[in-house]
Amino acid sequence: MSFKNTFIRKVVSVSLCAVIGFTGITLGHAPTASAATTKADKIITLGKKYLGVKYRFGAPSGSTSAFDCSSFTQYIFGKYGVKLPRVSSSQATKGVKVAKANLKKGDLVFFKVKRTGKKIGHVGVYVGNNKMLHTYRATGVTYSSMNTNYWKSNYITARRVL
């Protein structure tokens, strides 16, 4: 075997080992940050399948023919192993509090509504770009901008449960 062939084989072997090694390092670090993101994306994708499903206050847990805000979040999160209580005010006690400026996809966002006064009465799922996926009286399951005057003035808190 010539010096040239030996040199090329060594270069190829070292290169392959480096590629395999770097791939292993990258894969080894992937689950920490992306696992929550992946679960959030799956939850949001499931929620999208119900766009337009009608709103019904007090809709029963597990029903997909109609939702209220908290039965919707309970259902879509539950399908991915995240157990949430049935009502929005109880859901607001789960996970960890998140500042509005630090919202991530999959965070629960909570609001007051006329019927609850200053207390939590509505929940949605933050989907990014100041938008939430939720269900509401007039529209059923829908997307809404949290930048509208209504949602801005009624925002209370957010929780990260993923």
Give the residue numbers marked as catalytic: 69, 122, 134
The CA angle 159-56-47, to the nearest 5 degrees, is 50
The closest alpha carbon to 141, from 43, 72, 58, belongs to: 72
Question: If 0-12 CB within 10 Å is exposed, 13-18 middle and 19+ buried, where does residue 115 land?
Answer: exposed
Token pair, residue 90, equals: 């109880």
Residue 112: which H helix or E strand, with range?
A: strand 108-112
Rounded to whole angstroms, the Cα distance separating 109 from 160 reads 9
Rounded to whole angstroms, the Cα distance separating 89 from 108 reads 11
How remote is the C-alpha of 46 from its chain's centroid?
10
